Amino acid sequence: MGEFRMPSLGADMEAGILGKWLVKPGDPVKRGDIVALVETQKGVFDIEIFEKGVVERLLVQPGMEVPVGTVLATIVSEGAAVTAGQAVPPAAVAEPLPAAGEALIKAPPATSPFPPAAPSERIPASSPSARKLAAELGIDLSTIPGSGPHGAIQRGDVERAAEQKKTAAPAPLPPVVEKPSVPDYQAGMRQAIAAAMSRSNREIPHYYLETAIDMSSALRWLERENLKRSIKERILPVVLLLKGVARALADVPELNGFWLDGRHQIQESIHLGFAIALRQGGLIAPAIHNVNLLSLDELMAATGDLITRTRSGHLRSSEMSDATLTVTNLGDLGVNTVYGVIYPPQVALVAFGRISERPWAENGMLGVRRVVTATLSADHRATDGHRGSQFLEALNRHLQCPEKL
Amino acid sequence: MNDDQIREIVFRGLRQIAPEADPALLRSDENIREALDIDSFGFLQFLIGLSEKTGVEIPEADYEQVFTLGGLVNYLAARIT
């Protein structure tokens, strides 16, 4: 029997609200199906399942906020009896399972689709050191999520909670306000970004390398290609940059992966997080999967689709969790150089400024070229400047041969 | 199609890309993308939408002529049949 759990939609997520089930007991599911909507600080996401079988029981009701890792539903292999599951009345569903029970479950009042959750009365599992610290700092253990086994609260969780409490406004604790619950994504988004970026700056010893890349021949090639295409099939320069990064990562795989559990974990698949600014403010960096395997046309389509879904609120869980390196492109109107902050647990980030005409010396001649500055921010625990430099050289090399991208 | 009708098509397209902005406040010599904070993807979507409404596909080489509202309206007016 399989367990379908609350996924982590990025390093900054500790818990999520189950917004809506898109399946019911007895429904067949297969890998990649979208089975639920989950709301986090950053918005609402489509949650995929990675198992084949039949939904047996739904264990968490819409509106409940549960920590990452909580079992949301059980899945049985096809053919197994599911009568028991079908017989479960909705009321029984809210009963905490053993696994979920040890974690913190917050039951919301029944007033709105995504109401703020009230703290549970259940005392969650916690380590002695966490309990002691919580008592010292005046943290209520039933109000914070645990990251330990079965959602147990650990010392680090308490420290995080204390920090959040500190950074929160010093005003008296907000009463349980009965205001219409329009989720304040802007404030939530800011909090989520703040948590991830603070962690990055605290934990990751960044080093930075930058290089100027002559884009003239790549852009001339692209302009010729686009002339042959209808307006709907046009490819944007950023697609060349993304593909160049994927190619260079295949040459220098050390930058593609994670720093987790105190060690460097290089990933084979190249899933590029693509930082997308939201019009209402804030930023999401969902992943484009297997960029090295996509043609430029496919990559253009995938990127356009991702931007559209980011802005309309239909990102999938896998896109939020499995980027192996993030690329940020601060636009073709703005600055020349960007020094990015790595998104943990990734070990590098590649940032592009604007492509602009600049003086360029080559072969004893001075000319004007269209140039982009590529900046690598990398985790010094995982790699050294020598590797980073090899990556930027490889990136430059690939961008000089656009027809092979 | 007269200039006002073209401008209305342009505004409708811009509102789809930048829903919180009011394109009617654009000055005719203002850079549309800078004024409304539209990225390259958004601008391409906008041009695709215009091509569907007007039948005019603006080639990349002509982008410089259509960066302002005035430039864009003139460009389209000269080509809409």
Tell me the pLDDT tens digit for each residue of A168-198: 544 444 444 444 444 567 788 888 889 899 9
Query: In this complex, do A333 and B33 lie within 8 Å of one another by their Cβ atoms?
Result: yes
Mean confidence (pLDDT) of chain A? 83
Distance in angstroms between the alpha carbons of the first and the last residue of chain B:
8
Cα–Cα dist A397/A79, whole Å: 54
Query: In this complex, do A231 and B47 lie within 8 Å of one another by their Cβ atoms?
Result: yes
Chain A contact present for B64, CB below 8 A? no
Chain B contact present for A312, CB below 8 A? no
Chain B contact present for A236, CB below 8 A? yes
**C-alpha pair distances (Å), A375 with each of A342, A350, B39:** 12, 6, 20
Q: Is the pLDDT of residue A82 over 50?
A: no
Task: Point out which residues pair with A272 in neighbouring strands.
Answer: A288, A325
Cα A6 to its chain centre, rounded Å, is 14
Q: What is the structure's pLDDT at A127?
A: 63
Mean pLDDT of A58-83: 85
Chain B contact present for A303, CB below 8 A? yes
CA distance A229 to chain B (A): 10
Q: Is the pLDDT of residue A285 over 90?
A: yes
What angle in degrees, to the nearest 10, is found between the helix axes of A237-251 and A216-227?
120
Nearest CA in chain B to A229: B59
Cα–Cα dist A69/A73, whole Å: 11
Q: What is the structure's pLDDT at A329?
A: 92
Chain B contact present for A235, CB below 8 A? no
Length reported for chain A = 405
Instruction: State how many domains chain B has.
Output: 1
Contact A390, A223 (CB under 8 A): no
pLDDT digits (tens, 9 = 90+) for A343-356: 999 999 999 999 99
Q: Where are the beta strands (DSSP E) in A278-347?
A: 283-284, 287-288, 315-316, 325-329
Q: Which residues of B touch A280 (CB under 8 A)?
A: 20
Q: Which residues of A touch B58 (CB under 8 A)?
A: 231
Q: What is the structure's pLDDT at A85?
A: 43
Cα A207 to its chain centre, rounded Å, is 22
**Residue A120: band (very low, low, confident or very high) from pLDDT cuts 50, 70, 90:** very low
Query: In this complex, do A307 and B20 lie within 8 Å of one another by their Cβ atoms?
Result: no
Chain A contact present for B63, CB below 8 A? no
Query: In this complex, do B41 and A304 lie within 8 Å of one another by their Cβ atoms?
Result: yes
Best of B16, B39, B44 to mutate (most A CBs within 10 Å, chain A):
B39
Cα–Cα dist B25/B17, whole Å: 16
Q: What is the structure's pLDDT at A378?
A: 98
| Nearest neighbour of A279 by CB, restricted to B20, B33, B34 | B20
> Which residue did the predictor score with more confidence, A164 or A73?
A73
Mean pLDDT of A216-228: 96
**Residue A267: band (very low, low, confident or very high) from pLDDT cuts 50, 70, 90:** very high
Q: Which domain holds residue B20?
A: 3-79
> Which letter does DSSP use for residue A64 in this model?
-
Mean pLDDT of A106-110: 39
Q: Would you state the structure tokens that stand for residue A98, as one six-digit string?
A: 């053993």
Query: In this complex, do B51 and A238 lie within 8 Å of one another by their Cβ atoms?
Result: no
Query: In this complex, do A331 and B39 lie within 8 Å of one another by their Cβ atoms?
Result: yes
Domains annotated for chain A, with CATH where assigned, are 2-102 (2.40.50.100), 124-171 (4.10.320.10), 206-404 (3.30.559.10)
Q: Would you state the structure tokens that stand for residue B33, as one six-digit string?
A: 């993308």
CATH number at residue B70: 1.10.1200.10
Cα–Cα dist A336/A352, whole Å: 8
pLDDT digits (tens, 9 = 90+) for B19-70: 888 898 999 999 999 999 899 999 999 999 999 999 999 999 999 999 999 9
Q: What is the structure's pLDDT at B67?
A: 94
State how beta strands A43-48 and A34-40 pair. antiparallel
Mean pLDDT of A371-375: 97
Query: In this complex, do B39 and A230 lie within 8 Å of one another by their Cβ atoms?
Result: no
ipTM: 0.91
Is A35 in a helix, a strand, or coil? strand
Chain B contact present for A228, CB below 8 A? no
Cα–Cα dist A339/A209, whole Å: 9
Q: Among all chains, which residue has been given the structure tokens 């342009």? A: B10
Is A249 in a helix, a strand, or coil? helix
Percent of the residues in chain A that have a pLDDT greater than 70, as a whole number: 77
> Which residue did the predictor score with more confidence, A329 or A111?
A329
Q: Which residues of A touch B51 (CB under 8 A)?
A: 231
| Other C-beta atoms lying within 10 Å of the C-beta of residue A58 | 22
**Residue A157: band (very low, low, confident or very high) from pLDDT cuts 50, 70, 90:** confident
Mean pLDDT of A86-102: 41
> Which letter does DSSP use for residue A171 in this model?
S
Cα–Cα dist A16/A70, whole Å: 10
Nearest CA in chain B to A330: B39
Q: Is the pLDDT of residue A251 over 70?
A: yes
